[in-house]
């Protein structure tokens, strides 16, 4: 199976880039299944019902969340009407789930959403949750497993890779909005510390620079806004899974000025 993953979609600029490019990417690269992170999709914070339906219509099959999952009141009923995940290591009793299994190209695909601990809301232990959930999926005969690990600390993301390499097909990090340059395949597991945002690229992590700069200069906080006009980017990872392993992967960057940059994941022996 060939799957694709889009990290944090930030506001209207990010949604617009998905609308403009995803269907063409699916066709050109024969993609079977698309996962995307929704937690910044609506005005930079959370997800509305309107935007959820909109993103699905653009060609996304399931969406994962993070620390902004609960920012819009619309989210609760959406777990029953849309293919949405929230971090699986939220405590028992929290609405929704962070793990689902799908039939893709004649095989089973498990999609798991986890959230880290440093600078994040309170959750159960992400590493124990990951171990237990992956073991349960294996017992169910699910061999191909994709993880969106939504975390601030690069050490936590790398630690998750060390814990699960060879046991899952891919671990891709989200949350920082800043793309890292370490896309690799080790022991059959694709890994990228952070895929980076899809949205405005000429500002501060997709937000208008005025408020962040004021905060950096004075310590005074303010409300972050999405710029009305900006230069934008779509970042998408494409991976081939078979019999639990990732056999090949690459990342594409689509710029609103027409440029496309491709980077292949390296393979560790």
Model confidence over 16-58: pLDDT tens digits? 999 999 999 999 999 999 999 999 999 999 999 999 999 999 9
Residue 205 Cα to chain centre, angstroms: 15
Q: At what angle do helices 11-28 and 49-57 cross, to 10 degrees?
A: 20
Tokens of 242: 């078979």
Please tell me the distance from the alpha carbon of residue 241 to that of residue 1, in angstroms, as a whole number.
Answer: 5
What pLDDT does 207 receive? Answer: 86
β pairing state of 232-242 and 189-192: unpaired
Q: Which of the following is catalytic: 21, 68, 150, 177? A: 68
> Are the CB atoms for 101 and 140 separated by under 8 Å?
yes
- The SS3 call for residue 178 is coil
Average pLDDT score over the chain = 96
Q: Domain extents for the chain?
A: 2-267
Does the predicted TM-score (pTM) go above 0.85? yes
- E strand residue ranges, the chain: 2-8, 33-37, 62-64, 99-104, 107-115, 144-150, 170-174, 184-186, 189-192, 199-200, 232-242, 245-255, 260-264, 266-267
Q: At what angle do helices 126-139 and 154-164 cross, to 10 degrees?
A: 30
> Are the CB atoms for 180 and 198 separated by under 8 Å?
no
Tell me which fold the domain 2-267 belongs to. Answer: Purple Acid Phosphatase; chain A, domain 2 (3.60.21)
Angstrom distances, CA of residue 88 to CA of 132, 149, 157, 224, 269: 11, 10, 16, 27, 32
Report the pLDDT averaged over residues 106-111: 96
Does residue 269 surpass a pLDDT of 80? no
H or E element at residue 149: strand 144-150
Query: Given phi > 0 = left and psi -120 to 50 = alpha, else beta, which region is 241?
Result: beta
**Is 177 in the active site?**
no
Burial class (CB in 10 A: 0-12, 13-18, 19+), 33: buried
What pLDDT does 102 receive? Answer: 98
Q: Which residue has the higher pLDDT, 199 or 223?
A: 199
DSSP output for 61-79: -EEE--TTTTSSTTHHHHH
Q: Band of the pLDDT at 8, cuts 50, 70, 90? A: very high
Model confidence over 136-175: pLDDT tens digits? 999 999 999 999 999 999 999 999 999 999 999 999 999 9
């Amino acid at each position: 199976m060939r799957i694709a993953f889009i990290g944090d979609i930030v506001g209207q600029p990010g949604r617009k880039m998905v609308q403009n490019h995803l269907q063409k990417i699916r066709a050109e690269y024969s993609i079977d299944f698309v996962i995307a992170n929704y937690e910044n999709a609506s005005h930079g914070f959370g997800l509305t019902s309107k935007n959820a339906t909109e993103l699905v219509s653009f060609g996304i099959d399931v969406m994962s969340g993070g620390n902004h999952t609960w920012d819009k009141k619309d989210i609760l009923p959406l777990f029953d009407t849309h293919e949405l995940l929230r971090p699986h290591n939220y405590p028992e009793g929290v609405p929704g789930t962070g793990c689902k299994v799908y039939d893709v190209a004649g095989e089973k695909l498990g999609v798991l959403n986890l959230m880290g601990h440093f600078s994040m809301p309170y959750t159960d232990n992400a590493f124990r949750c990951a171990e237990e959930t992956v073991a349960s999926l294996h017992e169910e005969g699910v061999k191909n497993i994709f993880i969106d690990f939504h975390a601030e600390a690069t050490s936590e993301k790398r630690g998750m890779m060390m814990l699960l390499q060879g046991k899952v097909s891919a671990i891709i990090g989200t949350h920082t909005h800043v793309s890292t340059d370490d896309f690799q395949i080790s022991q059959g597991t694709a890994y990228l510390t952070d895929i980076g945002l899809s949205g405005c690229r000429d500002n501060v992590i997709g937000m208008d620079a005025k408020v962040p700069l004021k905060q950096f200069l004075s310590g005074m906080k303010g409300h972050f806004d999405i710029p009305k006009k900006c230069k934008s980017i779509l970042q998408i990872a494409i991976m081939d899974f078979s019999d639990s392993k990732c056999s090949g992967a690459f990342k594409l960057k689509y710029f609103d000025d027409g440029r496309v940059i491709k980077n292949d994941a390296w393979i560790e022996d």
